[in-house]
Amino acid sequence: MAGRDINTEEQQWLESTYGKVVNKVGERKEQFSTDSGIGVKPLYTPLDFAEKDYLTDLNYPGQYPFTRGVYPTMYRGRFWTMRQYAGFGTAAESNKRFRYLLEKGQTGLSVAFDLPTQIGYDSDDVMARGEVGKVGVAIDTLADMETLFDQIPLDQVSTSMTINAPAAVLLAMYIVVAEKQGVDQAKLAGTIQNDILKEYIARGTYIFPPVPSLRLITDIFAYCSQNTPRFNTISISGYHIREAGANAVQELAFTLANGIEYVRAALDIGMDVDDFAPRLSFFFNAQMNLLEEVAKFRAARRLWAQIMEERFGAKKAKSKTLRFHTQTAGSALTAQQPQNNVIRVTLQALAAVLGGTQSLHTNSFDEALGLPTEESVKIALRTQQVIAHESGVAETADPLGGSYYIESLTEEICRAVEKYLDKIDQLGGMAQAIQAGYVQREIQDSAYKTQLEIERKEKIVVGVNQFIDEKQTENELLQVDPQLEKDQKRGLAAIKSRRNNQAVQDCLRAIKKTAQEDGNLMPLIIEAVGYYTTLGEICGVLREVFGEYQAINV
């Protein structure tokens, strides 16, 4: 047992004082629990660890099972990557925002794509009408990608792209842009999200059914393991699962279950686990219960290390390390009293840092109202910089490690997640669990429970159901110019008129033929985008072969 022994007299005092909750104040409830429903005692002591070994088996940061961090020195070696998510309107406008953020001290890029791009439609498609450039940047051809990264040296910055169903196409464009800059693709660093399973259960920007979608993902794994060794081939995302209403335990369980499914898919095509697993990365949400979030991140590392070693026989240490990006919780932002969101984001960012994140995006306070302004984006970035340089929390690895409460909570989360993983295994794996609607129902039930708690004031949200101001402060909002869509279509038409259309058609036929067979599609897609074949054209021929996914009712 860690820590000093407790004598009989002290034990009797603890039990009499804390045997039942005695700190009821005003209208506060007597029974406390985390957002995931894990009961919280009024005090944690060495008694909670009697006959348990998980406090003494913590090990060091950088050592299996990596509960305390994936690197020995953590932030003393280098800070996390400060990667602000950005993108809106045209590629030129987004390029200006990227360069603004880099000038202000951002250390990595994170690209938001508009809805048509995310679901494989060009800006001139009828399905894109009214959505071009609204929630991200519009990317139709290589020309847009060239503009997006103009004057940004891709060998000196890492780029994360939140793209899933058409991830192969956007990655291909990124590779060709780098080549045009004279940067070998082997030097590229960054991440594509490329996580289609969570789209079926939480986010909805899918195109193809699961089987061909998993094929595209493993094509990327295979290509990148040989050609872009520094690029993370997938960002297995719990963020959107949490935004859809899951609690912390569900976010972690369903994300790890998705990860297991991707590893199996790669093994099924004959890949060696240690060839691709080191480039798997994860993406988590940082919500408001600060200490539960810290424990969640620690539990995530421990569980993934055990999964990779015990289920899949991974040998390399890097194959067992769960490296993750964190974004503060968009669903926690409120339109009421939006300045309060600065405080919320600070607490969430602190949870991510205390939990050992490798990369972090902090939301802007005005995002519940619209796209963030330059001023609000700067405040969000400054939040990270203040935590890094002024708070002291980055000066030692795992600063909360050994806390009786944090260690107990980490263990409780691990146990709760393992129960979910056992259930998903019984259903035949994550793909089968999704098809059965099990995961979707669990998230819906959690979201409904949380909403009821807010409406009943069992869960207080400042400015929403308590401490309400009659008068709301007016905030300056960023507006996307409606002329943008016309300009984007005009530019696309110009590209189509001057490109080598015979080469484009030849490339599309080759992609279609290979999609019908079993070759790797990545080299063909790279060749096609080099001829300025559009995103929609490539996704269109894949739709012809693969079909489109239809959501199930749950």
What is the distance between the alpha carbons of residues 203 and 186, in angstroms, rounded to a whole number? 31
d(CA 500, CA 532): 8
Tell how strand 81-86 and strand 39-40 pair up: unpaired
Distance CA 407, CA 498 (A): 62
> How high is the pLDDT of residue 520?
98
Beta carbons of 454 and 76 less than 8 angstroms apart:
no
In tens, the pLDDT along 415-427 reads 999 999 999 999 9
Closest CA to 371 of 475, 242, 244, 241: 475
How far is Cα 130 from Cα 275, in angstroms, rounded to an integer? Answer: 43
Average of pLDDT values for 151-180?
97
Of the pLDDT bands very low, low, confident and very high (cuts 50, 70, 90), residue 522 is: very high
Q: What's the pLDDT at 52?
A: 63
Distance CA 406, CA 205 (A): 36
Residues 40-52 have a mean pLDDT of 76
Q: In whole angstroms, what is the distance from residue 267 CA to residue 185 CA?
A: 25
- State the residue for tokens 């913590």: 58
- Cite the beta strand spans of 1-91 per DSSP E: 32-33, 39-40, 81-86
pLDDT at 107: 86
Q: Is 256 left (phi over 0), alpha (psi -120 to 50) or beta?
A: alpha
Strand ranges in 163-251 using DSSP code E only, listed in sequence order:
190-192, 231-232, 234-237
Residue 539 banded pLDDT, cuts 50, 70, 90:
very high
- pLDDT tens digit sequence for 297-331: 999 999 999 999 999 999 999 999 999 999 999 99
Residue 340 is predicted with a pLDDT of 97
209, 547 in Cβ contact below 8 A? yes
Band of residue 51 on the pLDDT scale cut at 50, 70, 90: low
Return the pLDDT at 27: 47
pLDDT for 53 equals: 63
Q: What pLDDT sits at residue 480?
A: 74
HSE-CB for 67 with a 13 A CA cutoff: 22
Q: Is 397 helix (H, G, I), strand (E, B) or coil?
A: coil
Tokens found for residue 231: 């690029």
Kindly tell me if the per-residue pLDDT of 285 is higher than 90: yes
C-alpha span between 488 and 34 (Å, rounded): 47
Q: Has residue 129 got a pLDDT over 80?
A: yes
pLDDT tens digits, 224-240 = 999 999 999 999 999 99
Type of residue found at 10? E
- How many Cβ atoms are within 10 Å of 461's Cβ, its own excluded? 17
* Gap between the Cα atoms of 446 and 452, Å rounded: 10
List of residues 6+ apart from 435 with CB closer than 8 A: 210, 552
Instruction: Map 91-118 to HEC letters.
Output: HHHHHHHHHHHHHCCCCEEEEEECHHHH
**Of 234, 329, 326, 338, which Cα lies nearest the Cα of 280?**
234
Strands 32-33 and 39-40, bridge-based pairing: antiparallel
User: How far apart are the C-alpha atoms of 444 and 451, rounded to whole Å?
Assistant: 11
What is the rounded CA–CA span in Å between residue 263 and residue 277? 8
76 secondary structure, DSSP code: G
- pLDDT value, residue 58: 76
Tell me 187's DSSP state: G
Is the pLDDT at 57 greater than 70, yes or no? no
Q: What is the rounded average pLDDT for all residues in the chain?
A: 92
Per-domain boundaries in the chain: 78-455
Q: Is 423 exposed, middle or buried (0-12, 13-18, 19+ CB in 10 A)?
A: middle
Q: In CATH, which of 1.20.1330.10, 3.40.50.2300, 3.20.20.240, 3.40.30.10 is domain 78-455?
A: 3.20.20.240
* Interatomic CA distance for residues 340 and 304, integer angstroms: 35
Contacts 24+ apart (CB under 8 A), 391-396: 391/350, 393/350, 393/353, 393/354, 394/74, 394/75, 394/76, 394/79, 394/353, 395/75, 395/76, 396/74, 396/76
**Is the pLDDT at 127 greater than 80, yes or no?**
yes
Helix (H, G, I), strand (E, B) or coil at 192: strand
Tens digit of pLDDT for each residue in 356-376? 999 999 999 999 998 899 999
Each residue's pLDDT tens digit, 457-504: 999 999 999 999 977 777 777 777 788 999 999 999 999 999 999 999
CB 264 within 8 A of CB 282: no
pLDDT tens per residue, range 9-23? 776 776 676 655 444
- 209 or 7, which is more confident? 209
Token duo for residue 93: 């406008």
- What does the block give as tokens for 408? 């107990």
**The pLDDT value given to residue 43:** 86
